[in-house]
Structure 1
Amino acid sequence: MERTIGWLHQFRRLRTRWEQRADLHQAFLTLACSIICLRKLQGSF
């Protein structure tokens, strides 16, 4: 769990929640998770 949070904190926008709307924060969180998964998959091929 701590590793996942560490990966998410690499994204400056997610370290501190600047968005006041929850849907925007969720969208950036989903985008960050997608980028992390893409990077992990690219490293395995």
Structure 2
Amino acid sequence: MSLSVDLLQLNDFMVCIFTLFIFSMLYLSIFVFYFKPELSNLS
């Protein structure tokens, strides 16, 4: 019984890490799209 509970907690943890990873990649892509043209215009 405790093993299944541990697996469930581990699964929730993996989902949390995966969601954070997806959000960070989205944030990075948005940052690059918005600031890359401004950087190229400056130079």
**Structure 2 length-normalised TM:** 0.57
For structure 2, the 5+ residue unaligned runs are 31-43
Runs of 4+ in 1 over 4 A off after TM superposition: none
- If you compute each CA radius of gyration, which structure gives the higher value, 1 or 2? 2
* Identity level (%): 12
| Matches of 1:42 and 1:26, distance apart in 2 | 24
| Matches of 2:26 and 2:10, distance apart in 1 | 24
| Matches of 2:17 and 2:10, distance apart in 1 | 11
Q: Which has the higher helix share?
A: 2
Q: CA RMSD in A?
A: 1.0
Could you say which structure has the greater relative contact order, defined with CA pairs below 8 angstroms and 6 or more residues apart?
1
1:35 matched residue in structure 2: 20
**Structure 1 length-normalised TM:** 0.54
Give the number of aligned pairs.
26
1:4 matched residue in structure 2: none
For structure 1, the 5+ residue unaligned runs are 1-19
